[in-house]
Amino acid sequence: MRRSPEPYLWLLFSGGGVVAALVVPVLVLLFGVLMPLGIVDWPTAEHLRGLLDSVLVRLALVVVVVLCLFHAAHRIRHTSEELLGIARFDLVVAALCYGGAIAGGIAAVMLMF
C-alpha cells in the first residue's frame, strides 16, 4: 500500500500558517509602518550585514520563507480546485504549486548561503 504525502503537506501548511501569523505581521509593522513613519530608526547596512553573518539568522530566514511559500502553495492549490472546479487536474495543480514553492525555497537557500 502506497502512502500519500498529504499529511506532510498539511504539516508544512500549518507551520507556514503559524509563521505567517506570527512573524510576517511583525516584519510588516516594522519595515512597512514604523520605519517609514520615523517612529523606529532604519537599521544601517553594517547592522544588517552583522545580523546576516550569523548562520542561525540566515537559517531562520530561509525557514520563514520556505514555510510561507508552502503555506501559500497549499492554499492556492485547494482554493483554485474548489473555486475554479479543476479538481480533475489535481496532479498538475499540485505539481505547479509545490514545484513553485520548492523553486522559491531553493532560491532562498541560494541567496542566503
Where are the chain's structural domains? Answer: 7-16+44-112
Nearest to 12 by CA among 99, 56, 57, 74: 74
Backbone phi, then psi, for 39, in 5-degree steps? -70, -40
Whether 25 has a pLDDT exceeding 90, the answer reads yes
Q: How many helices (H) and strands (E) does the chain have?
A: 6, 0
Whether 6 has a pLDDT exceeding 90, the answer reads no
Give yes or no for a contact between 67 and 14, defined as CB atoms under 8 angstroms apart: no
C-alpha cell at 65: 520563507
**Can you give the pTM of this predicted structure?**
0.85
Read off the pLDDT of residues 65-113 as tens digits, 9 standing for 90 and up: 999 999 999 999 999 988 888 888 989 999 999 999 999 999 999 999 9
